[in-house]
């Protein structure tokens, strides 16, 4: 249950600290949990964040992506109406907006994007946006576009030819890497023109089941050194080798190759046969030594698979252990999906529509040792057990974005409440 509490505003000193952190570190690329935080963030969300609001155009408003340039935060997802923090003023925004990262004030940035935005990559004075759209500002741009970060104007020189969706993107070593349902599933584009550089050509193919939907790379993470990439999605082979649902690639100087890392039990189906594409997010640790995968699928198909099957869980893997027989640790929810993960060194944050963590023995109920963690939680990176951090949030479908900055943790979701306060779609937990 969400614990209802009185709304509390950040103390002036805390607001000053948040503002200083936000402006002191200009973020020019896709920020991730590769930013180390010395301690766990506050359970009490900041009170200045804007809200995405359900309306006649969008019945389930949600935020799927964040990106930051200086003191400006960008948010993308599926929404049509945005309100201020006190919900007294509403403004129209088409699936993409920007606002002050320290006051929540909406900017004039208002490009017209005609479909959901799943990825935001800031780059200098521009941002790249990826998603399920076909036009931006009335101009044809399928799934990927480059915009002026201040005006929202479309960059006419950047015009990739894509047919499908883009659900992940980031700039690595001067290349724009994208993942999705388009031909190739994972590509490296020229950031100026959008043309395929040929740097990635891995032959990603196959579907894990007839009801798994289109073949795709749904999400990927890149280590801080920019030398390893872990991708998850609906595929069975990569470069002719068996790699169901997950693979690691080595990012070389001139080309990308399949890495020897391979987790065979990733092929195991969970008890929910209707959800064969199980993996939902992945993130590297700030030092690149390990990564964590979160997933759906209900519980393992048999009790003998508990500890190896990736089913409604968060699982840690070591980057340099090429053929693990099981994760370093795995934390099960007991039958509820985890949609997103972010690692800060001091914690592994997870978000979904879960009711519990530490629930390996649960099957839609709290088993021995289970702890209540509604909608969001934090896991000890070493032990794999839930930390005491427990703000609670609306479960709904489940939040699909966790975004770490030096100032704290941004939470994007389809939920309305965070720690009992109205924080519709956007919550910020400061490092104080």
- pLDDT greater than 50 at residue 410: yes
* Assigned domain for 35 exists: yes
In 3-state terms, the chain is what percent helix, strand and coil (to 5)? 5, 40, 55
pLDDT at 317: 98
**Mean per-residue pLDDT for 400-429?**
98
Strand partners, 147: 127, 154
Domain hosting residue 108, numbered range: 12-430
pTM: 0.93
- pLDDT greater than 50 at residue 24: no
Pairing of strands 401-405, 376-379: unpaired
Q: What is the CATH number of the domain that holds 314?
A: 2.130.10.10
pLDDT at 29: 38
Per residue in 37-60, pLDDT tens? 999 999 999 999 999 999 999 999
What SS3 class is residue 130? strand
Phi, psi of 399 (to 5 degrees): -65, 140
Mean pLDDT across the chain: 93
- pLDDT greater than 80 at residue 27: no
Per residue in 291-315, pLDDT tens? 999 999 999 999 999 999 999 999 9
* Assigned domain for 297 exists: yes
* Assigned domain for 7 exists: no
User: b/e string for 281-318 if b means 16 or more Cβ within 10 A?
Assistant: bbbbbbebebbbbbbbbbbbbeeebebbbbbbbbbbbe
CB 169 within 8 A of CB 176: yes
- Rounded Cα–Cα distance for residues 41 and 249 (Å): 32
**Mean per-residue pLDDT for 3-30?**
36
* Assigned domain for 299 exists: yes
In 3D space, the residue among 314, 260, 265 whose CA is nearest the CA of residue 291 turns out to be: 314
- Rounded Cα–Cα distance for residues 61 and 57 (Å): 9
* Assigned domain for 2 exists: no
Number of structural domains (the chain) is 1
* Assigned domain for 4 exists: no
How many CA atoms lie less than 13 Å away from 76 in the CB half-sphere?
A: 28
């Amino acid at each position: 249950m969400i614990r209802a509490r009185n709304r509390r505003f950040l103390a002036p000193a805390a607001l000053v600290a948040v503002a200083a952190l936000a402006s002191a570190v200009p973020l020019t690329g896709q920020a991730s949990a590769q930013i180390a935080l010395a301690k766990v963030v506050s359970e009490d969300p900041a009170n200045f964040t804007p809200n995405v609001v359900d309306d006649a155009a969008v019945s389930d408003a949600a935020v799927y992506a964040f990106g930051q340039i200086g003191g400006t935060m960008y948010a993308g997802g599926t929404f049509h109406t945005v309100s201020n923090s006190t919900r007294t003023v509403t403004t129209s925004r088409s699936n993409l907006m920007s606002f002050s990262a320290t006051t929540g004030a909406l900017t004039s940035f208002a490009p017209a994007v005609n479909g959901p935005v799943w990825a935001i990559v800031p780059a200098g004075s521009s941002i790249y946006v990826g998603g399920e759209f076909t036009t931006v500002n009335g101009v044809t741009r399928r799934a990927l576009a480059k915009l002026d970060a201040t005006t929202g104007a479309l960059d006419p020189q950047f015009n990739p030819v894509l047919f499908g969706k883009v659900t992940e993107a980031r700039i690595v070593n001067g290349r724009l890497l994208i993942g999705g349902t388009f031909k190739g599933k994972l590509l490296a584009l020229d950031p100026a023109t959008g043309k395929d550089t040929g740097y990635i050509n891995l032959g990603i193919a196959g579907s894990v089941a007839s009801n798994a939907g289109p073949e795709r790379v749904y999400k990927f993470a890149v280590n801080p050194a920019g030398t390893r990439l872990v991708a998850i999605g609906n595929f069975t082979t990569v470069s002719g080798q068996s790699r169901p649902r997950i693979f690691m690639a080595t990012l070389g100087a001139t080309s990308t190759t399949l890495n020897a890392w391979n987790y065979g039990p990733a092929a195991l189906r969970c008890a929910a046969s209707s959800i064969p594409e199980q993996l939902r997010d992945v993130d590297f640790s700030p030092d690149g030594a390990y990564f964590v995968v979160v997933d759906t699928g209900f519980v393992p198909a048999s009790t003998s698979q508990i500890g190896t099957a990736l089913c409604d869980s968060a699982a840690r893997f070591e980057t340099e252990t090429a053929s693990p027989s099981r994760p370093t640790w795995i934390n099960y929810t007991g039958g509820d999906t985890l949609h997103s993960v972010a690692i800060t060194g001091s914690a592994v944050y997870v978000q979904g529509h879960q009711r519990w963590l530490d629930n390996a023995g649960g099957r839609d109920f709290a088993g021995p040792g289970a702890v209540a963690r509604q909608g969001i939680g934090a896991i000890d990176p070493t032990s794999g057990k839930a930390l005491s951090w427990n703000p609670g949030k609306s479960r709904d479908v489940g939040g699909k974005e966790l975004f770490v900055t030096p100032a704290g943790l941004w939470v994007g979701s389809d939920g309305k409440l965070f720690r009992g306060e109205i924080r519709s779609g956007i919550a910020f937990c400061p490092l104080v």
